[in-house]
Amino acid sequence: MSHVVAAKGPRKVRADRSDYLLRGSSYLTVTAFAAFCALPFILIVSASFSSESAIMREGFGLLPKDFTFAAYEYIFRAPRQIIGSYVVTVVMTVAGTSLGLFIIAMTGYALQRKDFPFRNQISFFIYFTTLFSAGLAPTYIWISRYLGLRGNYLAVFLPLLMTPWLIILMKNFMRTVPYEIVESGKVDGAGDFRIFFRLVLPMMKPALATIGLFLALGYWNEWYLSSLYLGSTVEFKPLQYHLYNIINTANALRNSVAGSNVSITELPSNTLKMASAVVATGPIVLLYPFVQKYFVSGITVGAVKG
Amino acid sequence: MMRNALARIGAATLALAMTTTALAACSPSEGSESGDPTTITMLVLGDKPTNGRLEAMLDKLNERLEAEANADLELFYVEWADWQTQYNTQLLSGDDSIDLITTATDWLFAWENAEKGAFLPLSEEMLQENAPRTWEQVNADGHWDLTKLDDGQIYFIPEDNYTQYTNHGFFYRGDWAAEAGIPDGTITKFEQFTTYFEWVKEHQKDAYPWDIAGANDAALTGYLQGHTDGQTIQQISAGNYFPFQTTEADPYTVTSWYMEGDELLQAAELAKKWNDIGVWREDALNYDGDTREEFYAGLSGADQHHTQTFVTQIVDNMTKKQPGSDPKFFYWGQENGNVFKDILTHGAMAVNATSKHPEKALEVYDIVRNDEEAYKLLNFGIEGTDYVVTDDGELAYPDGYDSSTDALGSNFWAGRMDDFELDKVTDAPNKGEIYADLDAVAKEYPYSTLIVNKDMIDPTLAAMGGVLSEYLPQLQYGKFDDPAAAIEEMRQKLRDAGYEDARESIQSDMDAWASERGLK
Amino acid sequence: MVMQASVATPPRVGQHEIVRTRRRKTLLGRIVQHRVLLLMCLPAIAFFVVFSYAPMPGAWIAFTNFNYRDGIFGSPFVGLRNFEFLIKSGQLWLLTKNTILYNVAFIVLGNILQIALAIMLNEIRSKYFKKISQAVMFLPYFISVVLIGVIAFNLLNYDTGALNALIEQTGGDPIKIYSIAGAWPIIIVLFQLWQSTGYGSIVYFAAIMGIDNSLFEAAAIDGASAWQRIRYIILPSLKPTFIILLLFALGGIMQGNFGLFWNLVGNNAALFQTTDIIETSVYRMIISQNNFTSSTAVGLYQSLFGFAAVMLCNWIVRRINEDYALF
């Protein structure tokens, strides 16, 4: 940590200028990158309001061509389905994020306690699963035949509760909790769980917000497990899987022999794909600012300690 | 040390895990006491309909099934998105709630799945007892042999009494062909498309001569089929391709039109010419648009699919959307008569190996296949609401019916019968002629009963699939500057991948099969 | 100094005493003593046992000629036959090389960009600007790769692409981008960065938010410049996060982002030399083959590679600073 000492050297002169320079270039760079991220999304939104034939002729543009709601009408023409999908996904996201976050925080806390003798073994036990996985077929057989979870929302809900990466990340965040806090808790006669729940958790809001956001995104974006374990067995598919189906049906049919039996004339195309992206993304983007509050104004560790 | 600790933790948690498992495994099994109708679940392919029409139809159908067999029918859908994975994982799950499985030897892995034990072997007695009408008809036509593995057992029931042609070819516009100077506006040779495409490029500025999307080997296959007497062995695929053929002249010698002869080069050179003309988009391989819609919209001069699509969709749509376009169909092998009838196992029904009610399942299948009332309910729906019959006896839809939202979607493709089928008002008016013409020239696929043992050559086939997927798309779109050199390179790579070993292995299966039947 | 150290490395207060007492206890004694912490880990342990460890023996399927009747362990053993096609295709080296190089590019460029972005976001004072820009940078993460393929085509294709339209307007000749293999590593890396940078920078941003404020205050009093603040306070405190990210990424060094590559390149064989990775090639080889055994075999090959990479890297990290090592 000798670097920090060096930082304390007497170099007051250029401080202000470098600050403004950094801030200025930050605004510029962030704006540029945000524009880079937004541009394709603008194309998507504009295409979703364009007519299919205009897209066919002229490709995408920044503004809708032949403005129309046709694609959205197609998606919402069976509103029961899509509303059901929203409900399923929202319930799973909220429940999964809360439960997962609690377990991850608990584990991360225990694993960073230097006085916990099993922490290395358990960490390795968890991390190892990222290096070696059984593969699609064995996992599928295990979950569907032995756990009997096929056609059950649990087959999607449970595997997304946590990942080794999030646990280790949480453990790393928890390292910033000073050991003095644990000790002071112990002096007051609090048990380990109580220390965690009453003293540590409230300090960890930025970490909880970050990891909670990742968990929520995991649930929100999920379609793969749904396609494996739910398929057509449930009345309401999770949202992204529902849209994935809409998007991919046309592709799947066009390139297959199966087409011999089916009509593909009425199947959706470009504008519909784009509209489904908008439908799927909208709500969670609106949710984001609420979570973000904790990054910006959350009490940082240092403040408590000071 | 660590391993010790792990073992102990493992033991503790395993106990927990096992309890969970045990609980999950003990889900109550549905009782089927005599008296209550048995529910038979049939796996079909397609998107599960949500408009309520299917349920209404099933209610009526089940009344009949209860009366006849004390059973109910339910449908289980494998949906189109990722259907190959979906279908295979469904079988992998060993789900015993499925009784009947739609299968096919050419697109649903019927042989592979039969060999892997996914289907229940069906004994003759079992069929005679539970599906007597089906047994009788298939037996009379001599088609049970088409569904037997080398153990001599029957593994599925063929949809062998239903005429359809899924032979591929080009759809094009007769009006444009006539203007291009093609006699009668009717193309009779593959090479004439060059003239047609050139004319479209020149005179129809909005249209691509042939707008096409993604990997497609149609132009190559179309040329090869029309310029050789090659007969593709449909049992053996490598990746997305079918690299093994025999010839009509020498029907028991396995060869490959990708490996032997000059025709592949001729096809590739023609493709290169087309590419230079600008027949397709420069980036057709990556294009992802709906090219059929473009054909309907007059933005493409040709489209490519099979006879069935032509008679049921193309003619009707083009007549409505491009009046006077005079849509026509040129099929592969039209110039030399090298065209095949559909195999009779393009649709078939198997009984799930883990089904709890195999006999009842066969009973239900026998009814929906042979009982006219049940058949019409399952395939067409309820008369009056799902379909109407015109005075000419053609099938039409009631007023206000919208096929994009109101379709029945029962997708029973494993036991349709010509006897009960009705012509549709949307069918091509000359459907009968088209079929009669094909009936006159099309050959029977000669190797329906050939069983190829792929265990040992699977790695080679996969490797060959890798090589073919690297070269064929580029040959098809004329992207090599020197097709001859590219073909030589491809052939060398295929040999390196083990082409000769695979060919010999298939040859020995072919020899055994031919001598067993006294053919060779 | 103790306070500052605690940001990057945890304090070692009392650790030696604990270690000494621990040695004298039996395993059972230790379990009893730490039962609460153990119990707190139990749900996670149970989770990984059920969803990760339990199916692992099933990877045996890669060495069998699997059939439904006999199941994974009853099906005939065939040795390494399911691995053969990889070697026979003659592509193994190219695929391995491409996969690793792409991942290295993703890891290096991805982390640099994410860290830079996190630091810059931290510099921004306007609350609304920060919120909006961060939300916008998140957008790409939600866009399905299927759509990314469609967008890329609409931007880059020869006949109607936006890029070529622009080139033509400025008097240039349109470029056949879908035929130029050399351009695609750049395009693919750009799309990957576009999709993941906003998302990935969150971790670093949160780590910066977690830095003890008094450090910045002290630095300000001492007159540290912005660069010094970054160099001596922020970057060191991001090190543990970076190393963990790196170790996780290395575990997947042989695993490619199938969806991205498949949707951008698809069947365009003209680009394979520079764009084919293990996943896409295997997909083309066995798509029609109903082949669970070969895909599991490929997975094992990838795992083995990742395992070696991580072990090596963790060993190096441990030698440099034990606290940063994962295990």
Chain C residues with CB inside 8 Å of B479's CB? Answer: 179, 270
pLDDT in tens, C225-245: 888 889 999 999 898 888 888
Total domain count for chain C?
A: 1
* Span A122-147, average pLDDT: 90
pLDDT in tens, C146-185: 788 888 988 898 888 888 888 988 988 999 999 999 999 9
Query: Which one of B9, B88, B118 has the shortest CB-CB distance to C45?
Result: B9
- Residue A174 CA to residue A110 CA, distance in Å, equals 9
Question: With 80 as the cut, is the pLDDT of residue C124 above it?
Answer: yes
Polymer length in residues for chain B: 520
The pLDDT of residue A63: 84
Say if residue A159 is in the same domain as residue A38. no
Q: Which of A38, A68, A98 is the last residue of a domain?
A: A68
For the four alpha carbons of A78, A80, A84 and A90, in that order, the dihedral sign comes to: positive
The pLDDT of residue A302: 32
Q: Please state, in angstroms and as integers, the Cα–Cα distance from residue A56 to each residue in B284, B327, C157, following that order.
A: 14, 22, 13
Tokens linked to B194: 């060059």
Judge whether C23 lies within some domain: no
* Span B63-69, average pLDDT: 95
Chain A residues with CB inside 8 Å of B313's CB? Answer: 263, 265
For the four alpha carbons of C62, C64, C68 and C72, in that order, the dihedral sign comes to: negative
- Contact between A164 and C310 under an 8 Å Cβ cutoff? The reply is no
Q: Work out how many CB contacts closer than 8 A connect A with C.
A: 356
pLDDT in tens, C68-115: 888 899 999 999 888 888 888 888 999 999 999 999 999 999 999 999
Residues in contact with A50: Cβ distance below 8 Å, sequence separation at least 6, in sequence order: A60, A61, A64, A65, A66, A67, A68, A271
Cβ within 8 Å, pair B5-C285 = no
CB atoms within 10 A of CB B60: 15
Say if residue A150 is in the same domain as residue A288. yes
The pLDDT of residue B3: 40
Judge whether C119 lies within some domain: yes
Judge whether C312 lies within some domain: yes
Best mutation target among A99, A127, A170 (most C Cβ atoms within 10 Å) is A127
Query: Closest by alpha carbon to A75, among A247, A198, A238?
Result: A247
Structure confidence at residue C15 as a pLDDT band (50, 70, 90): very low
Domain that includes residue A55, residue range = 20-68
Higher pLDDT, A267 or A275: A275
Q: Work out how many CB contacts closer than 8 A connect A with B.
A: 135
Tokens linked to B446: 């000669």
Cβ within 8 Å, pair C59-A138 = yes
Judge whether A2 lies within some domain: no
- Residue B71 CA to residue B359 CA, distance in Å, equals 11
Question: With 70 as the cut, is the pLDDT of residue C3 above it?
Answer: no
Structure confidence at residue B328 as a pLDDT band (50, 70, 90): very high
Asked if the C-beta of B164 comes within 8 angstroms of chain A's C-beta atoms, the answer is: yes
Q: Which of A68, A90, A106 is the last residue of a domain?
A: A68
CATH of the domain at C171: 1.10.3720.10
pLDDT in tens, A17-26: 788 888 899 9
Question: With 70 as the cut, is the pLDDT of residue A253 above it?
Answer: no
Q: Residue B5: closest CA among chain A residues belongs to which residue?
A: A121
- DSSP state for residue B285 in the 8-state scheme: G
Say if residue A63 is in the same domain as residue A83. no
- Residue B201 CA to residue B70 CA, distance in Å, equals 63
Domain that includes residue C238, residue range = 85-324
Judge whether A12 lies within some domain: no
Query: Closest by alpha carbon to A46, among A36, A25, A68, A61?
Result: A61
Judge whether A4 lies within some domain: no
Judge whether A129 lies within some domain: yes
Query: Which one of A122, A248, A257 has the shortest CB-CB distance to B82?
Result: A248
Query: Which one of B285, B353, B493 has the shortest CB-CB distance to C68?
Result: B353
The pLDDT of residue C69: 86
Report strand pairing: B245-247 vs B302-306. Answer: unpaired
* Span B155-179, average pLDDT: 94
The pLDDT of residue A61: 79
Question: With 50 as the cut, is the pLDDT of residue C326 above it?
Answer: yes
pLDDT in tens, B276-301: 999 999 999 888 777 888 899 899 99
Percent of chain C with pLDDT over 70: 91
Mean of pLDDT over chain B: 89
- Residue A9 CA to residue A12 CA, distance in Å, equals 9
Cβ within 8 Å, pair B83-A252 = yes
Question: With 80 as the cut, is the pLDDT of residue A28 above it?
Answer: yes
- Contact between A205 and A299 under an 8 Å Cβ cutoff? The reply is yes
Q: Which of residues 167-186 of A touch C (CB under 8 A)?
A: 167-169, 172-173, 175-176, 178-180, 183
Cβ within 8 Å, pair B95-A144 = yes
Question: With 80 as the cut, is the pLDDT of residue A294 above it?
Answer: no
Q: Residue C81: closest CA among chain B residues belongs to which residue?
A: B459
Say if residue A57 is in the same domain as residue A125. no
* Positions of E strands within A187-229: none
Asked if the C-beta of C210 comes within 8 angstroms of chain A's C-beta atoms, the answer is: yes
Question: With 60 as the cut, is the pLDDT of residue A101 above it?
Answer: yes
Chain A residues with CB inside 8 Å of C227's CB? Answer: 18, 22
Q: Which of residues 213-232 of B touch A (CB under 8 A)?
A: 213-215
Chain B residues with CB inside 8 Å of A134's CB? Answer: none
Polymer length in residues for chain C: 327
* Span B64-76, average pLDDT: 95
Tokens linked to B75: 């449908």
Give chain B's domains with CATH numbers: 38-163+344-380 (3.40.190.10)
Tokens linked to B219: 């132009």
Say if residue A31 is in the same domain as residue A89. no
Say if residue A25 is in the same domain as residue A100. no
Judge whether C200 lies within some domain: yes
Q: Minimum mean pLDDT among A135-139, B200-204, B262-266, C116-120: which range?
A: A135-139
Chain C residues with CB inside 8 Å of A113's CB? Answer: 37
- Contact between C156 and C178 under an 8 Å Cβ cutoff? The reply is yes
The pLDDT of residue A295: 58
Say if residue A43 is in the same domain as residue A85. no
Chain A residues with CB inside 8 Å of C266's CB? Answer: none
Judge whether C29 lies within some domain: no
Judge whether A1 lies within some domain: no
Q: Residue A158: how many CA atoms within 13 Å on its side-chain side?
A: 19
ipTM computed for the complex: 0.84
The alpha-carbon gap from A1 to the nearest alpha carbon of chain B, in Å, equals: 33
* Residue found under tokens 């991001």: C238
Chain B residues with CB inside 8 Å of C88's CB? Answer: 459-460, 462-463, 496-498
Long-range interactions of C197-200: CB distance < 8 A, separation 24+: C197/A33, C197/C110, C197/C113, C197/C114, C197/C117, C197/C137, C198/A33, C198/A37, C198/C117, C198/C134, C198/C136, C198/C137, C198/C138, C198/C139, C198/C140, C198/C141, C199/A217, C199/C138, C199/C141, C200/C110, C200/C111, C200/C114
Cβ within 8 Å, pair C68-B13 = no
Higher pLDDT, B416 or A246: B416
- DSSP state for residue C52 in the 8-state scheme: I
The pLDDT of residue B257: 96
Q: Which of residues 265-294 of B touch A (CB under 8 A)?
A: 288-290, 292-294
Question: With 60 as the cut, is the pLDDT of residue A299 above it?
Answer: no
Structure confidence at residue B103 as a pLDDT band (50, 70, 90): very high
Structure confidence at residue C222 as a pLDDT band (50, 70, 90): confident
pLDDT in tens, B345-385: 999 999 999 999 999 999 999 999 999 999 999 999 999 99
Residue B204 exposed, middle or buried by CB count within 10 Å (0-12, 13-18, 19+): middle
Residues in contact with B61: Cβ distance below 8 Å, sequence separation at least 6, in sequence order: B73, B368, B374, B377, B378
The pLDDT of residue B476: 93
Say if residue A128 is in the same domain as residue A44. no
* Span B128-146, average pLDDT: 95
Judge whether A248 lies within some domain: yes
| Chain C neighbors (3+ CB pairs < 8 Å) | A, B
Asked if the C-beta of C4 comes within 8 angstroms of chain A's C-beta atoms, the answer is: yes
Give backbone dihedrals phi and psi of C299, rounded to 5 degrees, phi first: -60, -40
The pLDDT of residue B131: 96
Percent of chain C with pLDDT over 90: 35
Total domain count for chain A?
A: 2
Q: Minimum mean pLDDT among B126-135, B397-406, C65-74: which range?
A: B397-406
Structure confidence at residue C143 as a pLDDT band (50, 70, 90): confident
Question: With 50 as the cut, is the pLDDT of residue B100 above it?
Answer: yes
Q: Minimum mean pLDDT among A232-236, C57-61, C107-111: which range?
A: A232-236
* Span A280-297, average pLDDT: 69
Judge whether A13 lies within some domain: no
Structure confidence at residue B239 as a pLDDT band (50, 70, 90): confident
Structure confidence at residue A142 as a pLDDT band (50, 70, 90): very high
Query: Closest by alpha carbon to A136, among C58, B53, C50, B368?
Result: C58
Say if residue A160 is in the same domain as residue A260. yes
Q: Residue C52: closest CA among chain B residues belongs to which residue?
A: B17
Cβ within 8 Å, pair A231-B90 = yes
- Contact between B448 and B94 under an 8 Å Cβ cutoff? The reply is no
Highest mean pLDDT among A236-240, B179-183, C303-307: B179-183
Say if residue A183 is in the same domain as residue A42. no
Cβ within 8 Å, pair A254-B45 = no
Q: Which of A47, A68, A89 is the last residue of a domain?
A: A68
Instruction: State whether residue B319 is helix, strand or coil.
Output: helix
Chain C residues with CB inside 8 Å of A173's CB? Answer: 206-207, 210
The pLDDT of residue B31: 40
Judge whether A14 lies within some domain: no
pLDDT in tens, C183-212: 999 999 999 999 999 888 988 988 888 787
Structure confidence at residue B474 as a pLDDT band (50, 70, 90): very high
Say if residue A262 is in the same domain as residue A283. yes
Asked if the C-beta of B320 comes within 8 angstroms of chain A's C-beta atoms, the answer is: no
Radius of gyration of chain A (CA): 25
Question: With 60 as the cut, is the pLDDT of residue B24 above it?
Answer: no
Query: Which one of A107, A274, A280 has the shortest CB-CB distance to C40?
Result: A107
* Span B404-427, average pLDDT: 90
Say if residue A138 is in the same domain as residue A178. yes
Helix (H) or strand (E) holding B172: strand B168-173
